[in-house]
């Protein structure tokens, strides 16, 4: 099996807190992996280490056989590992369309196209279309066409999340890391939203890792689950197996239910 991404023995401390402890994960090409675990279990730390935002204290990360542990986020992005954010990171004063165009601009620039001395309109690498058509097409795939000319800062929460993910698609990522793509969206809408995201993302043929708290969403969309607890990976298996694992049930799924209970209790009070 060809692992596109291989994390070996990742370890990260923040002072006395261990955020990651001996994390090993080999991600296969074209797979869809769900990352689960309670808050603070190490999911986002894992994503941050892969994308270069955090450097692990120990351990290596290989991508397509290349060691990317020491690379800066922008270099890792250029290699084809893109991410979305828990809190959407958009260009607030620009419209949805302009957000896409800004992203495409970076792709063109990194490919050495559309520069000061080039003539004519370049085709966006990977898409083989002019920039504005790529923007339109991706917006359409994510159901964002009607928001095309509205400023990112006035868009509703769910739309902002979709735009945040749509932005990652301009670079034709080979690996896409989605940090809680459906957080802040009602549980009824979660499925439709995930459906749309997965369809759009898979149409471009990317390997997907997503963080999700809703176990129904996980078992529906993930082919494989990595369960985090206390900075460690406590289960690495298909969802049917992983979600039935006693440790996972106790620390992750149980934890989620516990949190839910707490939230409901707070709501009632």
Partner 1 sequence: MKRDRTPQTLVLILAAILAVGPFAPQWTVFLLTVALAKGLVVLGLMILLRCGLVSFGQALYYCIGAYAAGMLGRLFQVSGVFTLMLAGMVAAGVAGFVFGFLLARYRSIFFGLLSLAISMILYGLLVKTEALGSSDGFNLLPSTLAGIRPADAWVRYMVLAVAAAVAFVAALLVHRYLKTPLGRLAPAIKDNEIRVEYMGASARHAIHVKYVIAAALAGLGGALAATTVGHIDPEMAYWTTSGEFIFITILAGTGNVIAPFLGALIFGIIQTVAFDISPNTWQMVLGSSLLVVILFLPNGLWSLFTRRKAS
Regarding 136 and contact with partner 1 (CB under 8 A), the answer is no
Instruction: Determine which residue in the list 68, 162, 171, 211 makes contact with partner 1, applying CB under 8 A.
Output: 171
Contact 155, 183 (CB under 8 A): no
110 binds partner 1 (CB under 8 A): yes
Return the number of the residue (110 or 264) whose C-beta is nearest partner 1.
Answer: 110
Looking at the Cβ atoms of 10 and 170, the one nearer to partner 1 is: 170
- List the x/- string, 35-54, binding to partner 1 by CB under 8 A: ----------------x---
Binding of residue 20 to partner 1 (CB under 8 A): no
Among 3, 26, 94, 237, binds partner 1 (CB under 8 A): 94
Residue written as tokens 């209970």?
Answer: 261
Tell me which of 20, 162, 170, 209 binds partner 1, using CB under 8 A: 170
Per CB under 8 A, 78 contacts partner 1:
yes
CA 254, CA 265: separation in Å to the nearest integer?
Answer: 16
Contact call for residues 160 and 90 (beta carbons, < 8 A): yes
The burial class, CB within 10 Å (0-12 / 13-18 / 19+), for 183 is middle
Minimal distance, residue 115 CB to partner 1, in Å: 6
User: Taking CB under 8 A as the rule, does residue 133 contact partner 1?
Assistant: no
CB within 8 A of 133, min separation 6: which ones? none
Pick the piece of the chain touching partner 1 (CB under 8 A) from 84-92, 192-200, 214-222, 255-263: 84-92
Single out the segment in contact with partner 1 by CB under 8 A; choices: 62-70, 113-121, 141-149, 229-237: 113-121
Within its chain, how far is the Cα of 61 from the centroid?
Answer: 17
Whether the Cβ atoms of residue 55 and residue 76 lie closer than 8 Å to each other: no
Express the helix, strand and coil content of the chain in percent, nearest 5 each: 40, 25, 35
Give the nearest distance from C-beta 226 to partner 1 in angstroms.
22
From 5-13, 38-46, 73-81, 141-149, span contacting partner 1 (CB under 8 A)? 73-81
Cα–chain center distance at 12? 20
DSSP assignments along 58-115, one per residue: EEEEEETTEE-TT--HHHHHHHTEEE--SS----TTSBHHHHHHHHHHHHHHHTT-S-
The residues of the shown chain that bind partner 1, judged by CB under 8 A, are: 51, 72-75, 77-78, 82-83, 89-94, 98, 101-103, 105-110, 113-116, 167, 170-171
């Amino acid at each position: 099996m060809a692992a596109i991404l291989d994390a070996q023995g990742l370890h990260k401390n923040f002072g006395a807190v261990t955020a990651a402890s001996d994390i090993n994960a080999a991600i296969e090409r074209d797979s869809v992996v769900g990352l689960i675990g309670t808050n603070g279990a190490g999911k986002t730390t894992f994503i941050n280490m892969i994308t270069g935002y955090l450097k692990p204290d120990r351990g290596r990360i290989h991508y397509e056989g290349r060691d990317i542990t020491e690379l800066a986020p922008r270099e890792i992005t250029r290699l084809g590992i893109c991410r979305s954010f828990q809190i959407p990171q958009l260009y607030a004063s620009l419209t949805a369309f302009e957000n896409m165009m800004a992203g495409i601009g970076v792709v063109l620039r990194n490919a050495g196209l559309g520069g000061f001395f080039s003539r004519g309109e370049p085709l966006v690498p990977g898409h083989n279309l002019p920039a504005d058509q790529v923007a339109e097409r991706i917006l359409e795939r994510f159901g964002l066409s009607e928001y095309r000319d509205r400023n990112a800062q006035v868009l509703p929460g769910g739309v902002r999340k979709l735009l945040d993910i749509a932005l990652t698609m301009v670079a034709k990522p080979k690996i896409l890391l989605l940090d809680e793509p459906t957080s802040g969206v009602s549980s009824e809408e979660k499925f439709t939203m995930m459906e749309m995201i997965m369809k759009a993302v898979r149409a471009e043929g990317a390997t997907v890792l997503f963080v999700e708290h809703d176990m129904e969403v996980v078992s529906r969309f993930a082919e494989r689950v990595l369960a985090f607890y206390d900075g460690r990976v406590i289960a690495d298996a298909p969802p049917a197996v992983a979600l039935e694992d006693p440790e996972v049930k106790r620390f992750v799924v149980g934890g989620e239910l516990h949190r839910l209970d707490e939230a409901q209790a707070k709501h009632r009070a």
